[in-house]
Structure 1
Amino acid sequence: MSQQLAVGIDIGGTNTVFGIVDRRGNILCDGKMSTKAHEEVTTYLSELHGHLSKLIDQVGGPANIKGIGVGAPNGNYYSGNIEYAPNLRWKGIIPLASMLQGLFNIPTHLTNDANAAAVGEMTYGAARGMKDFIMITLGTGVGSGIVANGQLIYGHDGFAGELGHVIVIPGGRLHPGTGAKGSLESYASATGVTNTAIEFLHNRPETESLLRNYPENEISSKVIFEAAQKGDPLAREVYAYTGKVLGEALANFVMFSSPEAIILFGGLTKAGDLIMKPVREHMEKNLLPIFQNKVKLLFSELKESDAAILGASALAWEMKD
């Protein structure tokens, strides 16, 4: 079994999930702990070391582990540092990969969470065998990873591929986290869908909607989805608009890197055709003829609850022996 296993760690602002994975993408054992409970990274790593050491012992010890992969907010693949992550309590530059490698004496790579998702999809999921694709994660925010010629695009500083922060509507909706106006994340995330619904409720007082039965602070992407499933016209219009904005953005991304596929992952994909039909329509409509009807729009094949661990673990297989 020597070195046929990898550790995957996904660091979120609230929780950290971790597990040990084999080459086929089976998670042999896993665990979870609080990220936000730790004001200092040293106490966080101490707890993580305790949990992971037990799991590594369960699978026969460090000799069976090829490497550790970490997905983290603002994770820099080149330096192994978390750099100024806005949603973590540890501020500034954290040399996380080297700290973990020192604790476990196992080679460690780190990247941001969306890039980890792309590597995971290429290793275990819908992008197996593909050399050119774009991964878009549609959750609380919009993340992305771009693979071209078989390689993840990191750019000169390790932060390339932030498609969620591309401006799609100049002077548009304010993104409170970045101060940008009109970024894709402001429209095509779960938060963006909620904001669109609230705007539509204000701007279209004549349109009947089940959403009017909720106080504004209780309207969520889940509530909007449930209303749309019941045929609510305003909720369906929210998805049509979101799909239009996302489809137009995807057309730009296609003409940039000519991918074989765009793979969508995250909570918004549960809306299925409600969002995918307008996405496909507006993507194709805005492509030059040489790009039309060539790009597959696919949903991730990774189980959502496992994807973070699988994506991070996939970094380990890229490590040189």
Structure 2
Amino acid sequence: MVLNPLFNFNAYFKEMKSTSLAIGVDVGGTNTKYGVVNHRGEILDEGAVATTLFPTIEAFVDGLYERLLPMINKFGKDGNIKGIGIGAPNGNHFTGCIENAPNLHWKGVVPIAKLISEKFKIPCVLNNDAKAAALGELNFGAAKGMKDFIMITLGTGVGSGIVVNGGLLYGDKGNAGELGHTVIRPGGREHWSTGLKGTLESYCSATGIAITAVEMKKDAKEDTLLKNYDDKDITSKIVYECATKGDALAKKVYEFTGEILGEALANFVMFSSPEAIILFGGVIQAGDLLMNPAKKAMEEHLLITFKDQVQLLFSELKFADAAILGASTLVWG
């Protein structure tokens, strides 16, 4: 075979990449989202299923296969689906296993990447869900073009992905970056799952915000809309709705939450000196109610070397799509 000396290999491989697709799967404690994604970050088809429907990991893999097979037949007839990327709580990129995830009902060490790869006959890559979100932000969102940033996910829990010099920080065993479980209030509130006291997740997750609201409501002397709800019914969504209606106590909850978040972010800045910290997750729908006190507290607790040097940003990814996009980027590295 004689190769044309004018053949453009760069263009050829770029074209190969442009036609390749990935499947992104985000495994959550309540729901699992999945979709087919191209290299531009466009979701061609997607769906969701309740994670709790499947009592065992084997049943989950079978159920996921049943739901994804029509998409694979539709988009992958020419073998252009290059792999499956999975983001999951306590997902270890090195081992391909979900390891002792507190908010999943499959306990112990679960070899999910191996099971899915064998079932689908497609390569499968696993990562922690927050690290996957960081890759999604790096490829398709606010961190595009950045080499050093921290992604903080504020949802039911608090997760994080740390990108240093363009690559994810994994640490020796693959578990680096559990910033949500760092202690920011020594001897403080006990975490409902880990038993640790005073961690960031205990205060700045959606669960933590609801607990703060209940605590403040009990001591409140002023009128508050939160008194219209039983303690067990108060959620971060209700706190947000009350705050947007001008409720002073609900706003105080966000000021308190933002202050703790900002103090933690100052520690993270002085640890890794990132270009930006990007906040993502359902909690950030509070907008400036959370951002303003967080930014203020962060700057107040920084050494002068770091002051006004780090951007504090909200994610640019669509909340509904971000989990699938983040997982899909694992396929391309």
2:219 alignment partner, one of 200, 203, 208: 203
Letter in 1 for 2:261: L
1:289 aligns with 2:294: no
Question: Is 1:85–2:101 an aligned residue pair?
Answer: yes
- TM-score of the superposed pair, with normalisation by structure 1: 0.96
Which residue of the partner structure matches residue 13 of structure 1? 29
In the alignment, which residue of structure 1 is the partner of 2:276? Answer: 261
1:242-265 deviation digits (Å, cap 9, x = unpaired): 110000000000000001011001
Structure 1 contact 38–89 (Cα < 8 Å) conserved: no
Larger radius of gyration: 2
**Structure 2: runs of 5+ lacking an equivalent:** 1-14
Does 2:327 correspond to 1:312? yes
Name the SS of the counterpart of 1:169 in structure 2. coil
Q: Distance in 1 between matches of 2:180 and 2:322?
A: 19
Deviations, residues 209-253 of structure 1 (Å, cap 9, x unaligned)? 111122222222112112111221111111111110000000000
**Identical counterparts, % of pairs:** 57
> Are 1:33 and 2:49 counterparts?
yes
Residue in 2 that maps onto 1:176 = 192
8 Å contact from structure 1 (residues 169, 183) kept in 2: yes
1:153 aligns with 2:169: yes
Aligned-partner residue type, residue 209 of structure 1: T
- Pick the aligned partner of 2:128 from 95, 112, 115: 112
Contact 1:17 1:33 in 2 (8 A): yes
Aligned equivalents of 1:313, 1:216: Cα separation in 2: 39
Q: Which amino acid aligns with 2:108?
A: G
Moved more, 215-224 or 183-192: 215-224
Partner of 1:241: 256
Query: Following TM superposition, by how much is the alpha carbon of 1:73 offset from its aligned partner in structure 2, in angstroms?
Result: 1.3
1:279 is aligned to 2:294: yes
Aligned to 1:97: 113
Q: Which residue of 1 aligns with 2:4?
A: none
Letter aligned with residue 132 of structure 2:
A
| Length, aligned pairs only | 317
Report the TM-score when normalising by structure 2: 0.92
Question: Equivalents in 2 of 1:222, 1:294: separation in Å?
Answer: 32
Q: Kindly tell me: are residues 197 and 89 of structure 1, through their superposed partners in 2, closer, same or farther at Cα, counting changes over 3 Å?
A: closer
1:78-113 deviation per Cα after TM superposition (whole angstroms, max 9, x unaligned): 011111122222222121112211222222110111
1:65 counterpart (81, 92, 95)? 81
What residue in structure 1 maps to residue 3 of structure 2? none
SS at match of 1:290: coil
Please say if 1:303 is aligned against 2:318: yes
Is the CA contact 1:75–1:111 (under 8 Å) kept in the aligned structure 2?
A: yes
2:146 is equivalent to residue 136 of structure 1: no
What's 1:56 paired with? Answer: 72
What do the CA deviations read for 1:185-205 (whole angstroms, capped 9, x no partner)? 01101111111111112223x
Cα distance in 1 for residues equivalent to 2:246 and 2:330: 43
Aligned mates of 2:99, 2:315 — CA distance in 1: 28
Of 28-37 and 249-258, more deviation after overlay is shown by 28-37
Q: Matched residues in 2 for 1:85 and 1:200: separation? A: 30
Report deviation, 1:62.
Answer: 6.2
The question of 1:223 aligning with 2:231 is answered no
Partner SS for 2:184 = coil
